[in-house]
Structure 1
Amino acid sequence: MKELFSLFLTFFRLGCVAFGGPAAHLALFKQTFVDEKQWLSADNYAQIMAISQFMPGPASSQVGICLGMLRAGQLGGFVAWLGFTLPTALLLVCAAYGLTQWQNDQLPAMITGLKLATAAIVLHACYSMSRQFCTSALGWMLLILSTSTMILFNHFAVQFLIIATAALCSVLFAQPLEKNTSRVQLGLSPSLAWISFAMLLVLLVCLPLFAQASEHPLLLLFDSFFRIGATVFGGGHVVLPMLENEVVANKWVTLDDFLAGYGITQAMPGPIFTFAAFLGGVNQLGLPMAATAALCLIAIFLPSFLLINCCFYFWQKISNNTQVQKALVGINASVVGFLLAAFYDPILTSAINEHWQVALVLLLTLVLHKKWAPAWLLVVASGLLAVIFI
Structure 2
Amino acid sequence: MKHLRKIVEIFLVSFKLGCTSFGGPTAHLGYFQHEYVQNRQWLTDKEYSNLVALSQFLPGPASSQVGMGIGLLRGGLLGSIASFIGFTLPSVLLLMVCAYFYAHKEIEMNWIHGLKLVAVAIVAQAVWDMSKKLIPSLRHFLIAFLALVVLLLWMHPFAQVVVIFASALVGFKLFKESTTNRDSEGIRLPISKSIGMRFLLLFIILLIGLPVASSLFNYEWLQIIEKFYVSGALVFGGGHVVLPLLEVQFVQSGLLSSSDFITGYGITQAMPGPLFTFASYIGMIIGGIPGALVATIAIFLPAFLLIIGVLPFWFTISRTTGLKGAMAGANAAVVGILAAAFIQPIVTQTIQGGLDVFIVIGFLVLLIRWKIQPYLLVLLGIGVGVVFY
Separation of aligned partners in 2, 1:319 and 1:115: 34
CA shift, 1:114, in A, is 1.6
Q: 32, 36, 41: which is aligned to 1:21?
A: 32
Q: Are the aligned partners of 1:120 and 1:361 in contact in 2 as well (CA < 8 Å)?
A: yes
Matched, 1:329 2:322: no
Q: Are the aligned partners of 1:222 and 1:295 in contact in 2 as well (CA < 8 Å)?
A: yes
TM alignment of 1:153-192, pairs within 5 A? 153-174=154-175, 175-176=178-179, 178-181=182-185, 184=188, 186=190, 188=192, 191-192=194-195
CA shift, 1:30, in A, is 7.1
Q: Are the aligned partners of 2:151 and 2:340 in contact in 1 as well (CA < 8 Å)?
A: yes
Matched, 1:242 2:233: no
CA shift, 1:200, in A, is 5.4
Gaps of 5+ in 1: 32-44, 70-76, 232-240, 266-274
Separation of aligned partners in 1, 2:320 and 2:54: 16
- Encode CA deviations 1:112-155: one digit per residue, 9 max, x unaligned: 11211112212222211222211111111111111111111111
Separation of aligned partners in 2, 1:129 and 1:183: 19
Separation of aligned partners in 2, 1:282 and 1:82: 21
Q: 270, 278, 293: which is aligned to 1:260?
A: 270
Separation of aligned partners in 1, 2:269 and 2:124: 14
Q: Which residue of 1 aligns with 2:25?
A: none
Distance 1:67 1:344, change over 3 A: closer
- Encode CA deviations 1:338-378: one digit per residue, 9 max, x unaligned: 22221222222221212111221222123222243111211
Q: Which residue of 1 aligns with 2:299?
A: 296
Matched, 1:137 2:138: yes
Q: Which residue of 1 aligns with 2:81?
A: 82
Q: TM-score, normalised by structure 1?
A: 0.68
Separation of aligned partners in 2, 1:348 and 1:108: 19
Secondary structure, aligned partner of 2:158: helix
Q: Which residue of 2 aligns with 1:373?
A: 372
Aligned residues: 336
Distance 1:336 1:50, change over 3 A: closer
Distance 1:330 1:364, change over 3 A: same
CA shift, 1:258, in A, is 5.8
Secondary structure, aligned partner of 2:270: helix
Q: Which residue of 2 aligns with 1:72?
A: none
Q: TM-score, normalised by structure 2?
A: 0.68
Secondary structure, aligned partner of 1:350: coil
- Encode CA deviations 1:244-292: one digit per residue, 9 max, x unaligned: 344489877788656533xx34xxxxxxxxx255443356996554443
- Encode CA deviations 1:188-233: one digit per residue, 9 max, x unaligned: 3x654544454556778x69999xx9xx8865653454456xx8xx
TM alignment of 1:185-200, pairs within 5 A? 186=190, 188=192, 191-199=194-202
CA shift, 1:89, in A, is 2.4
Aligned-residue CA RMSD (Å): 4.2
Q: Are the aligned partners of 1:217 and 1:285 in contact in 2 as well (CA < 8 Å)?
A: no
Percent of aligned positions that are identical: 17
Q: Are the aligned partners of 1:147 and 1:338 in contact in 2 as well (CA < 8 Å)?
A: yes
Distance 1:169 1:377, change over 3 A: same
Q: Are the aligned partners of 1:226 and 1:303 in contact in 2 as well (CA < 8 Å)?
A: no
Q: Are the aligned partners of 1:257 and 1:282 in contact in 2 as well (CA < 8 Å)?
A: no
CA shift, 1:329, in A, is 1.1
Q: Are the aligned partners of 1:112 and 1:386 in contact in 2 as well (CA < 8 Å)?
A: yes
TM alignment of 1:75-154, pairs within 5 A? 77-78=77-78, 80-97=79-96, 107-154=108-155
Distance 1:331 1:135, change over 3 A: same
Q: Which residue of 1 aligns with 2:254?
A: none
Amino acid at match of 1:117: V
CA shift, 1:386, in A, is 1.2
TM alignment of 1:24-35, pairs within 5 A? 24-25=35-36
